[in-house]
Amino acid sequence: MNNGFVRVAAAIPELRVADCAFNVARIADLVRKVEEEKVQVICFPELSITGYTCADLFFQQQLLDDAEKALDELQMLTFSTTAVVIVGMPVRVQNQLFNTAVVLQGGHILGIVPKTHLPNNNEFYEKRWFSPSSATEVQTVILSGQEIPFGTNLLFTDGKFSFGIELCEDLWVPIPPSSQHAIHGADVIFNLSATNELIGKHQYLRQLIEQQSARCNSGYVYASAGNGESTTDVVYAGNGLIAENGKIIASSERFSFEHQLIVSDIDVERLRADRLRNTNYANDKSSDIYRTIKIEDAHFSEFTLKRTFDKHPFVPPVSTREESCNEIFSIQVGGLAKRWKHTQSETVVLGISGGLDSTLALLVCVKTADKLGFDPKRIIGITMPGFGTTDRTYSNAVNLMKSLGITMMEISIKDASIQHFKDINHDVKLHNVVYENTQARERTQILMDIANQRNGIVIGTGDLSELALGWATYNGDHMSMYAVNSGVPKTLVRYLVDFASHTLDAHSKEILQDVLDTPVSPELLPADENGKIAQKTEDIVGPYELHDFFLYYMVRFGFSPTKILFLAKNAFEDTYSDEIIKKWLKTFLKRFFAQQFKRSCIPDGPKVGSINLSPRGDWRMPSDAIPFDTPNP
C-alpha cells in the first residue's frame, strides 16, 4: 500500500461468446496494462473466460475444456506480473458445475470462490446450468493439476489489506456474502458480474453498490459484462464501478465498443478508522470459519494517486447546496430553539462584530425567533467598538442589525479597557496578549451583564475551527450560554453566510457579501494608517482552509501527520507549496494539542457535521498530551 491506499481496477475486455482463447488474450492485454499502472488487484466480469451468455453451451465438454486450457495460459502470464488477477469461469466439481471467480498471482491459482445466489427469473436461468455454493461441502478442488482452496469463506491478504469476493446476484439479496466478508476482515469486496441493462436499473445498481460499501465500511469493485456478450434477449453495457464507503469514486463509460480499464485508489486506512470506531461492527459475525490465503505484496514504489481530494471536506457539494444549507440551519435553529424555550428567557444576547462568525450566529437567532413565532426585537445585538474596530466592520454590524430588525445596542469598550489597564498597571501602548484579551473579556462581561438585565442568555459565536486552534480568549469569547456555531468549521461558516445572502433582500445581501469579503480578524489591535484591518487571523495562524482540512482528517479518521500531509499535498497542489502546507500543519498540531484545556470547558452547542470537539460528545483528550511530530516533506 501507499500511505494506506491500495490501487484496484475493474476491467471490461472485448469478448467473443464461447471463444476462450480470444477472451483470455484480451484479458492478458489488460493485465499487462495494469502492470504499468501499478495496480495491485484487477477484477474481470462474471464468466469472463467463456462469456456469460453461453447458455446450454455450458453443458458442452469442449467449452469447459477450452476454459481450463485458457486458464492455464493466463496462469503462465501471471509469472511475469505482480497484480492479483480475478477472472470468472465455469468450474467442474464432483459432477456439478459452478459459476466461479478464480484468483491468480505469480503463476499460481490461489483460490476459487463459487457463486452463492443463482438467479432463476424471466431473464436469467443460471440454475439450469450451475449449482449454488451450498450444493457442495468440498474445501479444495483439483484444477490445472493443483489442489486449490474452494469456497465462499476465503479471504485474500498480503498482511496490509484483505479482500473478499462475491458474484453478481450475491449483491442483490437481503444479506449479501460481502457483509460477512467485511465483518471477517475484508477491506475491499470484488464483484464479478453480468448485469443487463433496463430502464432505471443502472441508477439502482449504483445506489446498491454505494449502500453496500457504506454498510460494510469497505471498498467495492464491480466489473460487469459488456461489449461482445450475446444480445439475443438482453444487452450488457459494461459497468465498471469502484466505490469507497458509500461513494462511487470511479466509473466506466457504459455501452462502449472498446475495452475499458477503470483504475482508482481505495483508502484502506480510512475504512479501518471507521470500523475501529464502530463497536458493533463484528456483532453479526457468523460462525463460519474463514480461511486466509496469502497474496504477495506488490512492493510498488510510491505512486501518484489516481483520485483527488476535496480541499474543503466540510463543505457540501454545490449540487446539494440548498438542501444541505437548510439542513444545517435547521440543526442550529433546532438546538437554540430548545434552549431558548427551556430557559424561559425573554431575550437572546450576542455580540455583533461585522465578521463572519457573529453574522452566522445572528442569522441563526433570527431564524430561530421566526420559527418560534417570537418578535425579532427579542434578539439583542450589541456592537462593542474597541481599539481595532474599523469603519468597515462597524458599518456592516450596524447595518445588518438594522436590516434584520433586531434590537441594537452600541457600547464602546475603550474607556473600560483603559481603566482596567490602569487598575492592573499595564501600559496601554504595549499591544501584547494582555492588551488583546482585556478587550475580549470586557466584551463578554458586557454581554453577560446585559443578559442578566434583560432576562436573556448569551449566544456564543465562535466556530469549530477556532476551537481546534484555541483561537479564543479563555473566559472571553470562549464563553457563552449556548454556542450555536461550535459545530461549524470556518470554511462552512463562509458557505452558509453566502447561501443565506441569496435568500434575503437586496440590501441584506449586499451587507453579507461585504462581510464575506472582509479579512477574518479579532480586531484587537489598532487599524493600520489607512484605517484598515491590521490584525489578520490567517496571517498569524495560517489559512483556515488548510486547518479545516487537517482537522477533518485527524479527528474524523485518526490519520497520522504523515498521511494528512500526503492528502493535503494532493488536494492543495495548485494552491500551496509543500513547504507551506507542512509549516501550517506543524502550527495546527502544536496549537491543537496545547489548547485542549479550552475545549475541556466549552459551552453547550449543536453538533452539525461528522465531527465535534465537545468534551461531552465526540472528543475526549487530556490537556497535557504531547503533540504528534510533523513529518518531513
**530-579 pLDDT per residue, tens:** 888 888 899 999 999 999 999 999 999 999 999 999 999 999 999 999 99
**Got the DSSP string for 454-486?**
TTEEEEE---HHHHHHT-S-TTTTT--SEETTT
Q: Would you say residue 633 has pLDDT above 60? A: no
> Position of cell 454545490?
318
Give the rounded percent of residues in the chain with a pLDDT score beyond 90.
87
pLDDT at residue 532, as a whole number: 86
In the chain, ranges of CATH 3.40.50.620 domains: 318-537
Which residues 6+ apart lie within 8 Å of 632 measured at CB?
Answer: none
Q: Largest Cα–Cα distance in the chain?
A: 101
Q: Would you say residue 583 has pLDDT above 90? A: yes
The model's confidence at residue 630, banded by pLDDT at 50, 70 and 90, is confident
Q: Please give the model's pTM, rounded to 2 decimal places.
A: 0.91
Quick one: 318-537 is in which CATH superfamily?
A: HUPs (3.40.50.620)
CA dihedral 558, 564, 568, 570 (to 10 degrees): -100
User: How far is residue 99's CA from residue 120's CA, in Å, rounded to a whole number?
Assistant: 14
Q: Span 183-187, mean pLDDT?
A: 95
In the chain, ranges of CATH 3.60.110.10 domains: 5-277
Phi-psi region of 442 (alpha: psi -120 to 50; beta: other; left: phi over 0): alpha
pLDDT at residue 255, as a whole number: 86
Smallest CA-to-CA distance from 392 within 542, 513, 544, 537 is with 513
CB 353 within 8 A of CB 476: no
The CA radius of gyration of the chain, in Å to the nearest whole number, is: 31
Enter the DSSP assignment of 165: E
Smallest CA-to-CA distance from 209 within 181, 260, 246 is with 246
**Residues labelled as active-site residues:** 46, 115, 168
| 415-439: burial string, b at 16+ Cβ within 10 Å, e else | ebbeebbeeeebeeeeeeeebbbbb
pLDDT at residue 282, as a whole number: 72
pLDDT digits (tens, 9 = 90+) for 327-364: 999 999 999 999 999 999 999 999 999 999 999 999 99
pLDDT digits (tens, 9 = 90+) for 195-233: 988 999 999 999 999 999 999 999 999 999 998 999 888
Strands of 482-483's sheet in order across: 407-410, 379-383, 347-351, 456-460, 482-483
Do strands 407-410 and 456-460 pair parallel, antiparallel, or not at all (unpaired)? unpaired
Smallest CA-to-CA distance from 155 within 111, 122, 196, 192 is with 111
Mean of all residue pLDDT scores within the chain:
94
Work out the number of other CB atoms within 10 angstroms of the CB of residue 89: 27
User: How far is residue 15's CA from residue 226's CA, in Å, rounded to a whole number?
Assistant: 8
Do strands 5-12 and 41-43 pair parallel, antiparallel, or not at all (unpaired)? parallel
Say which CATH class 5-277 falls into: alpha beta
Smallest CA-to-CA distance from 440 within 395, 402, 396, 473 is with 473
> Position of cell 484555541?
470
Distance between start and end Cα atoms, the chain: 19
Q: Would you say residue 405 has pLDDT above 60? A: yes
pLDDT digits (tens, 9 = 90+) for 272-284: 999 998 878 777 6
Do strands 379-383 and 247-251 pair parallel, antiparallel, or not at all (unpaired)? unpaired
> Position of cell 486552534?
469
pLDDT digits (tens, 9 = 90+) for 594-629: 999 999 999 999 999 989 999 998 899 999 999 998
Which secondary-structure segment (H or E) carries 230? none
pLDDT digits (tens, 9 = 90+) for 364-391: 999 999 999 999 999 999 999 999 999 9
Query: 522-525: which pairs have CB atoms within 8 A and are 24 or more residues apart?
Result: 522/388, 522/436, 522/440, 522/471, 522/477, 523/353, 523/355, 523/386, 523/388, 523/389, 523/390, 523/393, 524/386, 524/387, 524/388, 524/435, 524/436, 524/439, 524/440, 525/387, 525/388, 525/431, 525/435, 525/436
User: How far is residue 14's CA from residue 238's CA, in Å, rounded to a whole number?
Assistant: 10
pLDDT digits (tens, 9 = 90+) for 443-490: 999 999 999 999 999 999 999 999 999 999 999 999 999 999 999 999
